Amino acid sequence: MGFIDRVKEAFGKPPAKEVARKRLQLILKYDRAGLPPNAINAVKDAILNALKDFPFIDASGVTINISEGDTDREKIEIEVPVKNN
């Protein structure tokens, strides 16, 4: 890792090659799962609409990811945080 990369890392900006690698991984996950690029956003919007009636759910913290499942198929993981009272 060069000096410039270390400076960028220290200031919170990841190196361009890391950003490109993560984007490529995301594109490959969508492709393997056979999903159009906006599918996760559509799923997230539908889930947020379903959860808006529950005041104990922190809708701003909902995350949705595609990951490898136990089999050869991809799986969608959803994390729904609960508000602390």
Decide which of 7 and 35 is more confident.
35
Q: What pLDDT sits at residue 1? A: 58
pTM of the model: 0.48
Q: Identify whether the C-beta of residue 32 lies closer than 8 Å to the C-beta of residue 48.
A: no
Decide which of 8 and 19 is more confident.
19
Q: Which residues pair with 63 in a beta bridge?
A: 79
Nearest to 32 by CA among 77, 72, 71, 65: 72
Task: Decide if pLDDT at 33 tops 80.
Answer: no
Decide which of 51 and 2 is more confident.
51
